[in-house]
């Protein structure tokens, strides 16, 4: 199940460590490469599994013109069954956070850490359409990127542009991770099907009945899903027992620029008997 972690090759899945089972789900248009440094830090206490989502670079194919997160969750559930994981701790970022909530509703989560999750809207929401329009603007860019020579695609200008989109301090992100981000985005077959599905199908809706211990991590400098607009649904609809934490000084994909902090926040939440934090 696990392929090479070389940054220029697609990663089918990261699978490392031993201990409590931990599932890590990557954002839209990225791949498991974004979890590599977090997985390394947690592998001394957890068996970490970070698969490539269907339709993404390194992931299984995804057929259909309209795709919603429930189909992505179906594929991940099948992978959990293959591993023999009836339940596991789950952490997901952006689209991965949305899929993580879907899996939690199916009873597959022991704990849930949602990092700048997508899906925080009801059907026919203005926020839902606005986010779709933002990502739609990436279609011609990623299409052009496939034809650009690799030397330009992985050059300093392209890396800087990618870093500014997903991180506050892009210079803290290793260059090879920025190159992998660009490569994953230009090889995301699910881009249009998921955009179409996200507009047609509802978001996460009411989360107040969610029984699993939940931690929401909001990124202070999130340029993709800004907190002012997109975090309100989660702040209002998560159970009172859920943690609500603002992670300072990071962008939308904080695992790339602050792996120590993200690993610590996930590990802390996994520990039983901890006090609930109600920050922000």
Q: Which residues are catalytic?
A: 94, 222, 252
Count of H-run helices and E-run strands, the chain? 13, 7
Q: Which residue has the tokens 């269907």?
A: 54
| Pairing outcome for strands 214-219 and 243-247 | parallel
DSSP state of 149: -
Whole-angstrom distance, CA of residue 215 vs CA of residue 227 = 15
Whole-angstrom distance, CA of residue 5 vs CA of residue 39 = 12
CB atoms within 10 A of CB 50: 25
DSSP state of 53: P
Strand order in the sheet with 20-25: 13-17, 46-51, 20-25, 88-93, 109-115, 214-219, 243-247
Is residue 249 classed exposed, middle or buried when 0-12, 13-18 and 19+ CB atoms within 10 A define those classes?
A: middle
Whole-angstrom distance, CA of residue 131 vs CA of residue 133 = 5
Q: Do residues 229 and 215 lie in contact, with contact meaning Cβ atoms separated by under 8 Å?
A: no
CA terminus-to-terminus distance, the chain:
39
Whole-angstrom distance, CA of residue 195 vs CA of residue 211 = 29
């Amino acid at each position: 199940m696990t392929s090479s972690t070389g940054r220029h090759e697609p990663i089918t899945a990261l699978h490392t460590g031993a201990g409590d089972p931990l599932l890590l789900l990557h954002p839209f248009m990225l791949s498991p490469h974004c979890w590599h440094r977090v997985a390394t830090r947690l592998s001394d206490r957890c068996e970490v599994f970070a698969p490539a989502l269907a339709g993404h670079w390194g992931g299984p194919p995804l057929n259909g013109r309209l795709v919603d997160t429930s189909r992505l969750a179906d594929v991940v559930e099948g992978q959990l069954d293959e591993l023999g994981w009836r339940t596991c701790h789950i952490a997901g970022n952006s689209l991965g956070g949305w899929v993580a909530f879907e899996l939690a509703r199916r009873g597959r989560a022991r704990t849930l850490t949602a990092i700048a999750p997508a899906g925080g809207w009801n059907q026919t929401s203005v926020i839902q359409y606005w986010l779709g329009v933002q990502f739609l603007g990436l279609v011609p860019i990623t299409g052009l990127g496939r034809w650009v020579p690799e030397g330009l695609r992985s050059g300093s200008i392209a890396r800087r542009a990618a870093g500014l989109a997903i991180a506050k301090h892009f210079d803290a992100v290793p260059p090879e991770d920025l190159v992998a981000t660009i490569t994953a985005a230009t090889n995301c077959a699910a881009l249009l099907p998921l955009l179409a599905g996200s507009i047609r199908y509802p978001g996460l809706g009411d989360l107040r009945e969610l029984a699993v211990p939940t931690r929401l991590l909001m990124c202070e400098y999130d340029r993709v899903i800004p907190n002012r607009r997109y975090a309100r649904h989660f702040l209002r609809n998560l159970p009172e027992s859920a943690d609500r934490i603002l992670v300072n000084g990071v962008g939308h994909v904080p695992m790339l620029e602050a792996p120590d902090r993200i690993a610590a926040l996930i590990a802390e939440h996994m520990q039983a008997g901890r006090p609930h934090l109600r920050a922000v």
